[in-house]
């Protein structure tokens, strides 16, 4: 029997941050999920750490994908991995988590409860996230990011229009039937806003609903490696 949710984290050279990301998923109060960890690191430090962590929990589906230097200069790797993995998923919901961000302990439980409360209506859900930065030995909150009200199909705001981060949404897997492959743009020209273009494609067909709480459920960590560029 398939899990209810799939979480996807591409891992790339963030050994300083990725373990806390993984721990934040494994410490969720909601437990009915598969956790896809796909490592494409080149730094000799991150992959052993992620691989060892993956062996500690049966919910983790661990994959290694390597890319040539030429591929790294022509393809936006996180989008490529996202497209490859979600084409294989058979769970009801999908959530993307960057390898330096955090999910707070009740995040998945709150979001899935909301989505399941009316499964004919809630195709996409979004929620508040905190922007966190490192100073004097601790993570501090810079601001919280959310928007109010519905947008997307059937609303007066049919476009995501950079209102959200890709890590702020959970969507029904069957939404993908309305999109063409690749779901997220893989070319480097669109790399800096590939997740936004993917969400705009969803918004043409589905409504984005806000979770009815102002509590932040994600910690978006602003690290020196939180950039879309890849060497």
Residue in 24, 36, 178 with CA at minimum distance from that of residue 95 = 36
Complete DSSP assignment for 10-60: EE-S-TTTHHHHHHHHHT-S---EEEEEEE---SSSHHHHHHHHHTT-TTE
What is the rounded radius of gyration, in angstroms, for the C-alpha atoms of the chain? 17
Q: Is 195 helix (H, G, I), strand (E, B) or coil?
A: helix
The pLDDT assigned to 229 comes to 40
N-to-C CA span, the chain: 40
Segments of 115-217 assigned E as strands: 124-126, 129-135, 138-145, 151-152, 169-172, 207-210
CATH number of the domain that residue 13 is part of: 3.90.550.10
The pLDDT assigned to 228 comes to 45
Taking only the tens place, the pLDDT of each residue in 124-162 is 999 999 999 989 889 999 999 888 899 999 999 999 888
**What pTM, to 2 d.p., does this model score?**
0.94
Q: What is the mean pLDDT of residues 96-105?
A: 96
Q: Is residue 228 part of a domain?
A: no
123 has a pLDDT exceeding 80:
yes
Complete DSSP assignment for 63-78: EE----HHHHTTB-HH
Residue in 231, 182, 213, 230 with CA at minimum distance from that of residue 79 = 182
The pLDDT assigned to 91 comes to 96
The pLDDT assigned to 231 comes to 35
Residue 212: domain span: 5-222
Per the prediction, the chain carries an average pLDDT of: 92
Q: Is residue 168 part of a domain?
A: yes
Q: Is residue 81 part of a domain?
A: yes
Q: Is residue 227 part of a domain?
A: no
Q: Is residue 210 part of a domain?
A: yes
The pLDDT assigned to 188 comes to 84
Residue 228 burial by CB count (10 A; 0-12/13-18/19+): exposed, middle or buried? middle
Count of the separate structural domains present in the chain: 1
Q: Is residue 10 part of a domain?
A: yes
Taking only the tens place, the pLDDT of each residue in 165-219 is 889 999 999 999 999 999 999 988 887 788 889 999 999 999 999 999 989 999 9
Q: What is the mean pLDDT of residues 60-83?
A: 93
Q: Is residue 196 part of a domain?
A: yes
Contact 206, 126 (CB under 8 A): no
Residue 59 burial by CB count (10 A; 0-12/13-18/19+): exposed, middle or buried? middle
* 68 or 188, greater pLDDT: 68
Q: Is residue 229 part of a domain?
A: no
What single DSSP character describes residue 184? S
């Amino acid at each position: 029997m398939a899990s209810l949710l799939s979480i996807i984290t591409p891992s790339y050279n963030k050994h300083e941050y990725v373990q806390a990301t993984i721990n934040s998923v494994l410490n969720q109060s909601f437990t009915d999920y598969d956790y896809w960890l796909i490592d494409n690191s080149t730094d000799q430090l991150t992959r052993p750490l992620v691989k060892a962590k993956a062996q500690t929990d049966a919910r983790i589906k661990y994959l290694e994908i390597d890319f040539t230097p030429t591929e790294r200069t022509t393809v936006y790797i996180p989008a490529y991995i996202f497209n490859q993995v979600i084409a294989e998923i058979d769970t009801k919901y999908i959530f993307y988590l960057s390898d330096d961000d955090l999910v707070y302990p009740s995040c998945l439980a709150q979001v899935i409860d909301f989505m399941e409360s009316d499964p004919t209506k809630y195709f996409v859900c979004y929620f508040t996230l905190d922007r966190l930065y490192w100073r004097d030995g601790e993570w501090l909150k810079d601001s919280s990011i959310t928007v109010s009200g519905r947008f997307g199909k059937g609303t007066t705001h049919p476009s995501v229009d950079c209102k959200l981060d890709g890590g702020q949404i959970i969507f029904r897997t069957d939404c993908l039937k309305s999109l063409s492959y690749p779901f997220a743009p893989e070319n480097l020209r669109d790399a800096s806003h590939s997740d936004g273009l993917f969400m705009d494609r969803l918004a043409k067909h589905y409504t984005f609903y806000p979770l009815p709480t102002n509590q932040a459920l994600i910690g978006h960590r602003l690290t020196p490696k939180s950039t879309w560029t890849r060497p």
